[in-house]
């Protein structure tokens, strides 16, 4: 059974890119464009890991994360964002990993996912 990943990312192109990349690695990925939809999906289905952006419309990544942690305390969370400046503020409590988006950071994302939930 493939491990399930919930991807919360507001940019469609990036959703496609990350989904395809992770699927190539053998994961099952479901993606939504905002935190609210993500939480709804999380109520209905089981996931092994959540990847979430920080700046998103409707509900910010941080609000989303605190809600997720309220529901599923031990669910691994990766913050994947283009804002390097929040790393110190959130890393310690909000997520298991904080990865800054770049053209080469997908490799890092994949290896972090592997490290947290295996293949």
Partner 1 sequence: MEQKNKLQYEIYLLDTICRGLQATLNVDKIIHIVLTGLTAGASLGFSRAALFFVNDSGVLHSGRGIGPFDPEEAKKIWFDLISSAATLEEMFENSHRRTLESQRFPVEIRTVTCETSKLPSDNPLKKTIVNKEIIVLKESEKFLLPEVFHWFVKYSNQIVIAPIKISGKVSAVVLADNAFHNRNITQETLSFLSIILNQAGLALSNAFAYENTKHNLEQLRQLNEKLRQMQEDLLVCERFAAAGRISTYLAHEIRNPLATIGGFARQILEICREKNVDARISRNARIIVNEVRRLELVLNNLLRFSFKQPAKKESLHLKSFLDELLEVLSINIDDSGTNLKVEIPDGLYVFADRVQLGEVIYNIVHNSLESMKPGGSIIIKAGENQKDVWIEVTDTGYGIPEEILGQIFNPFFTTRSHGLGLGLNIVKMIVEENHGGKICINSKVDVGTSVKIIFPKKEENGKENSIDRG
Positions that interact with partner 1 (CB under 8 A): 11, 13-14, 17, 20-21, 82-85, 87-88, 100-106
Instruction: Annotate 26-94 with DSSP letters as a single string.
Output: T-EEEEESSHHHHHHHHHHS--SEEEE-SS-SSS-HHHHHHHHHHH-TT--EEEEES-GGGHHHHHHHH
Q: Closer to partner 1 at the Cβ: 42 or 101?
A: 101
Residue 25 CA to residue 37 CA, distance in Å, equals 25
Provide the 10 A C-beta neighbour count for residue 102: 10
Q: Min. distance of Cβ 73 from partner 1 in angstroms?
A: 26
Query: Which one, 66 or 111, has the nearer CB to partner 1?
Result: 111
Shortest separation between residue 27's beta carbon and partner 1, angstroms: 16
**Between 67 and 96, whose beta carbon lies closer to partner 1?**
96
Minimum distance, C-beta of residue 71 to partner 1, in the bound complex (Å): 28
């Amino acid at each position: 059974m493939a491990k399930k990943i919930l991807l919360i990312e507001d940019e469609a192109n990036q959703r496609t890119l990350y989904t395809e990349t992770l699927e190539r690695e053998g994961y099952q990925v479901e993606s939504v464009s905002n935190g609210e939809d993500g939480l709804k999906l999380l109520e209905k289905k089981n996931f092994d890991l959540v990847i979430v952006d920080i700046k998103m419309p409707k509900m910010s990544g941080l609000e989303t994360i605190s809600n997720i942690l309220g529901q599923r305390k031990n669910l691994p969370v990766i913050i994947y964002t283009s804002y390097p400046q929040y790393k110190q503020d959130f890393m310690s409590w909000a997520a298991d990993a904080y990865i800054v988006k770049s053209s080469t950071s997908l490799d890092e994302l994949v290896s972090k996912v592997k490290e947290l939930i295996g293949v």
